[in-house]
Structures are given as C-alpha cells and as structure tokens.
Structure 1
Amino acid sequence: MKSKIRIEKLDGALHIRYRWMVLSLMPLMVVFTSVCIGMPAYLMYLGQPIMPEYGIWGQRVLYFVMGFCLYFTLVFFFNRSDIHINSEELTIRHLPFPWIKGNKRLPVSEIHDLAVKRKVTKSREGTHEKFYLIAKLQNGETFELLSIPNQSQEETKLLEETLDEFVLDIRKNEA
C-alpha cells in the first residue's frame, strides 16, 4: 500500500504532506461524482424540470444538495494537508479546496510538544483506528492539527518520532 504521508526535512524545516484520498472508496466516489454531474446535466438537456411538484425552490434545494455533495467528493479526491514547521512557526494548509477547519498557524514558541494520539472505535463492522496529530501548547491546551484515518501504526509512529526529533532540534538551537 502506498503511503499517504510524506515527510521531508529541507533547509532546517520539516514538511509533512498528507493525501486525503481513500482508495477503498474510489469506486463509490466515481459513481457519486458521475451522478452529481450527470443527472442535472441530463435533465437540463431534456428540458425537464427536476421535481416539478416542489416548484422552483425544490429544484434549488436539490441543486444545492447535489453541489454540496459534489464539493465533498472532490475534496476527498484531490485534497491534501501540508504541514510546514520551521524554527518560528507551524503552518497547516489544506489544498487545493478550502476545508471546514481552515488553515492554521501557530508560533513554535507556544508549542510544548507535538504528538500522534491513537483513538480506537468499535462498531458492528469491526474495530477502527484513527490517529490525530496534536500540539500541546505551553498554556496546557491541546490543539488537533490533523486527523489521519486508515493509516498504519508504523507510519504514524515514524511521524511521531520525526516530529519529536525535530522539536528537540529546535529547542537545542534556541538554547
């Protein structure tokens, strides 16, 4: 399985790139995208109003919902999170489409520790692991930087070790 996390150290900075695409959901995403784009296009081509019994507002709500669903499908197809850490600042950007949690910036001086936390949930389908990249701030708050579902524990452990090593290097250079 190809890793969704890429870690690079360049010019005294740490770059982490996390791709959001979940390959196991790819067939569902293709069908969903086709329906979201194809159905309104086909109905407009035919000149048929969608849901005429609900009037113009019913059509507008339907188009809004389909656009919303298409947006989320495209986000999970193409988006990635880029984390850049240097001696001054930690920056998180979600590209190419904007995301709900938004882009974030934290001064490194406010960060006490960076860690990867594991959360296990159980359901009828089985046990699922999800990892979270968190920052513990100097004032005692914890700040979720990134959620990492469907990732191996070895890769997240490597991510945590790399982050710890980088933060220690920054602390040594400050002293």
Structure 2
Amino acid sequence: MSKKLKIERSAGALDITYSWGNPSRWFLAFFSLFWNAFVLFFLAVGAGWFIVFHLIAGAFIGWYTLTLFLNKSVIKASSQELTITHGPIPWFSKDRQIPARAVKQLYVEIGPVKQNNQSTYQLMAQLDTDARVKLIGAEMDKERLLEVEATVERYLGIADDPSMNLSGKSMNGLNLDEVRANLERLQKIKKWLPASMAQKMEEAEHKIAAEAARRSSDDGIFVPGEDWAASSSSGFLKPRILPAPEHDLTFPFYLSGTGDDILLEGAPATVGRTAQLDWDNDDGSISRQLEVVSPGDGGKRHFYATRERGRWTYYEERRLDDNEVAKLGFSEDHHPLRFENGRERYYPRDEKTGRRFVLGQGHPVRQFVYFTSSSTAQFRALKSGNQPWEVYIEEPIDGASFEAKE
C-alpha cells in the first residue's frame, strides 16, 4: 500500500485518505517565500501599480503551496453512495457525491495537464448512464490512483475491467508480446516524436501492462448469469444460485431465508416471507424481496435487495395501496412514462423482465424502477401476469444495518 494512503474499513463504510503532498512542494515553498518577500520589499519602498500583478501571483503561488502541505482528499464509499471531499483549504477541485448504485466502473486515464513536463493522471467514474465523471485530477502518482481504484471497486463489489484504464477499449485477442516489442523499438525515436504521439505511446504501454495483469489473474470472480441456461430452459425452471459474498465487511443479508434470526439496526428480528427475482438481462442480475418481523410487537418491515454488476444494494420499501397506485397513473397493463410525487418528477429506467420465485414456483414478471435526480427515493413497479401492479416506494438502507445474530 502507498505510504501516502490511509485506508480504514468499518462495517458500514470504507474511508481512503491521502495527502496532496509531492516533492515539488519544498521548491514551491522556498520560491513562494522568496517571491513574496521580494514583492513586500518593493511595496515597502513605494512601488507603483505594476507590483499589484506580482502580488496577486505571489498570493496564488503561496495558496497553492499551502494546499500541497495541508490538503487531503477523503474518499468515502458505502453501500449507498461514493463521496469525495477535498480540504481543509479551498481549491478548484470539486467535491463529489454519487449514488453507489450508479457507479458502473472506475478507471485511470492520462490527464490533459502536465507538471514538470511529466504526464498527470485522473481517476474517472463511468456511471450507469454512460456519463463519465472526474473524481480526482492532476495526480502525478499513477500507482496511487490505481490503488484507490482497486480498493473502492473491491469494496463496492465492482468487477474490475483493466482494459478501461487509461481510456482503452478491450484488448482481447492482441498478441501482447508482439505489441510490447514494437513499442520497445519505438523508444529510440520517442524523443523526436510529436508530444501527442509520445503521449499515445505512454498510454499504450500502460494499457499493455494492465491487460497483461488481467490475463494472468485468476481471482474467481463470479460470472453473472453462468447458471441462467439451466433456469430458463423449457420445462426446467428454478431460481439461480445466489453467489457467495466476496468479502466479510458486511453481513450478507441477501442470503437470508425464512426463519433466520438476524439483528436489524441492533435489535433482534426474524426473516419472514422471501422471494427471488431472476432477470433476463445480459448480466444475469438477481433481486430478492425479504420481510423482517420484530419478535416483540410483530411489526413487519420490507426490504428489496438487488444484485447488479456484481454487487448488492439494499432498500427499505413500502407497498402503495390501490388508490396511491392509481394516482400515479398505473392501470391494468399501462405504466406511466413519468409521474410527479410532490415536487419531484420521476422517470422509468429500462424495463426488466424475468421470473419471481415464491416457495419454489416461478412466475413471469416485468418491472420498472422510477427515479429522480433530486432524491434518493425511488419507486419500483412490478407486474406479475394478470395481477394488478405492485408499486413500492423505496429508500436506500446501509448494508451495515443488518448483522448476524450470535
């Protein structure tokens, strides 16, 4: 682990802290002191307005130097969101807050800024909308960003795609030894090549290294949908096998069955009815509905666990009554293209189709999840055969809320 990184894991979150410091800060500190002393001297002897520009430049250099000595970036990952904050000194780096379920992939690419004629790197996030968001920019230590990427992806359960790093496409089928040999032959003339071409060579070298690491690794990542052929074949319907947890940082509530005793937010509870939904999409995603009963007053709470892109996200949900469903615009086979709930306007994601298994019997279902950009709440609308629409309002809940009862 990089000495500049501080990684702390808990049941509910992953915290990664690293300082902005780099070797150039000592030179900048000396230069800033010299420059500002020079400007203050001329101010003291009554220099004219021309010195104002030097004063502004000195203040900017001094401010930037302070950020290198004092500032840290904190990346906090939980089952609900991914946040990045910078401080304590304000700078141009933006704080980010992204729903964890929206993060499809993290990757490192070469940035547009150079420092001391050397490339800098930036950590990017690809979202489920295919939008790309810069999380950290202008970092000279590529290995540090790669370590941050790997740590966050492992915690959130995102299957790494090394070919994404440094903005690459898939390199399957390439003869890496041949490509590496060609790049080595070009090293002799690299210094005479245009800067843009030399940068492309650097990108290719990094991508080759990442692809070689991917091909040599065998980490046993679960392949979504690998058992789908059996469960979808004619006359042989059964729920998919739930994957084993990839780490022990949080309790795998999604594996719970009827009658299991658990702790919910520290209080004893028992799992009641359960159902499993196996979706037909290419990544073989799985969802579960779980009822949790309090042994004291018999109160029931309902949860929706969904596995998408290799990780589990939890929601607490409440089913709407028939009047509430009708007000949102649902009727028979019709689902609204949008609806309003208070001041928020909700839109559906792509339709999902699959089967819901209850007590071992599977029934075809279709489902829409309605979302809004201004709230974490969402609506889940499910249609099973000729049955009325089941519409639930959901709020994300931290996976650390569920614990094993000893």
Displacement of 1:173 after TM fit?
Answer: 4.7
Structure 2, unaligned stretches of length 5 or more? Answer: 158-245, 251-310, 316-406
The DSSP-based 3-state class of the residue aligned with 1:91 is strand
Displacement of 1:91 after TM fit?
Answer: 1.4
CA contact (8 A) 2:39 2:51 kept: no
The 1:63–1:161 alpha-carbon spacing in structure 2 relative to 1, beyond 3 Å, is closer
Structure 1, unaligned stretches of length 5 or more? Answer: none
The 1:72–1:158 alpha-carbon spacing in structure 2 relative to 1, beyond 3 Å, is closer
The DSSP-based 3-state class of the residue aligned with 1:133 is strand
Q: 1:159 aligns with which of 133, 137, 148?
A: 148
Q: 1:70 aligns with which of 29, 51, 62?
A: 62
RMSD in angstroms over aligned alpha carbons? 3.0
The DSSP-based 3-state class of the residue aligned with 2:312 is helix
The DSSP-based 3-state class of the residue aligned with 1:3 is coil
Displacement of 1:112 after TM fit?
Answer: 1.8
Residue by residue over 1:45-92, the C-alpha shift from the partner in whole angstroms, topping out at 9 and shown as x without a partner, is: xx3023x3xxx3x23333222212211121222211111111222211
Displacement of 1:139 after TM fit?
Answer: 0.5
Could you tell me which residue of structure 2 aligns to residue 103 of structure 1? Answer: 95
Could you tell me which residue of structure 2 aligns to residue 6 of structure 1? Answer: 6
Give the greater-gyration-radius structure (CA).
Answer: 2
CA contact (8 A) 1:91 1:106 kept: yes
Q: Which has the higher helix share?
A: 1
Instruction: Return 155-164 or 75-84, whichever deviates more.
Output: 155-164
CA contact (8 A) 1:81 1:94 kept: yes
Where in structure 1 do 4 or more consecutive aligned residues deviate above 3 Å? 40-44, 128-131, 155-158
TM-score normalised to structure 2 length: 0.35
TM-score normalised to structure 1 length: 0.75
Displacement of 1:151 after TM fit?
Answer: 2.4
Q: Distance in 2 between matches of 1:21 and 1:81?
A: 11
Identity %: 21
Q: Distance in 2 between matches of 1:101 and 1:151?
A: 17
> Within 5 A, what are the aligned runs for 1:88-167?
88-113=80-105, 115-119=106-110, 128=118, 130-147=120-137, 149-151=139-141, 153=143, 155-167=144-156
The DSSP-based 3-state class of the residue aligned with 1:174 is strand
The 1:120–1:100 alpha-carbon spacing in structure 2 relative to 1, beyond 3 Å, is closer
2:284 is the alignment partner of 1:172: no
CA contact (8 A) 1:15 1:84 kept: yes
The 1:158–1:62 alpha-carbon spacing in structure 2 relative to 1, beyond 3 Å, is closer
Q: Distance in 2 between matches of 1:166 and 1:33?
A: 41
The 1:88–1:29 alpha-carbon spacing in structure 2 relative to 1, beyond 3 Å, is same
Could you tell me which residue of structure 1 aligns to residue 281 of structure 2? Answer: none
Displacement of 1:157 after TM fit?
Answer: 4.1
Could you tell me which residue of structure 1 aligns to residue 374 of structure 2? Answer: none
The 1:82–1:31 alpha-carbon spacing in structure 2 relative to 1, beyond 3 Å, is same
Displacement of 1:14 after TM fit?
Answer: 1.1
The 1:30–1:130 alpha-carbon spacing in structure 2 relative to 1, beyond 3 Å, is closer
CA contact (8 A) 1:19 1:79 kept: yes
Could you tell me which residue of structure 1 aligns to residue 382 of structure 2? Answer: none
The DSSP-based 3-state class of the residue aligned with 1:8 is strand
Amino acid of the residue matched to residue 29 of structure 2? V
Q: Distance in 1 between matches of 2:12 and 2:38?
A: 50
Could you tell me which residue of structure 2 aligns to residue 30 of structure 1? Answer: 29
Displacement of 1:15 after TM fit?
Answer: 0.8
Q: Distance in 1 between matches of 2:18 and 2:72?
A: 5
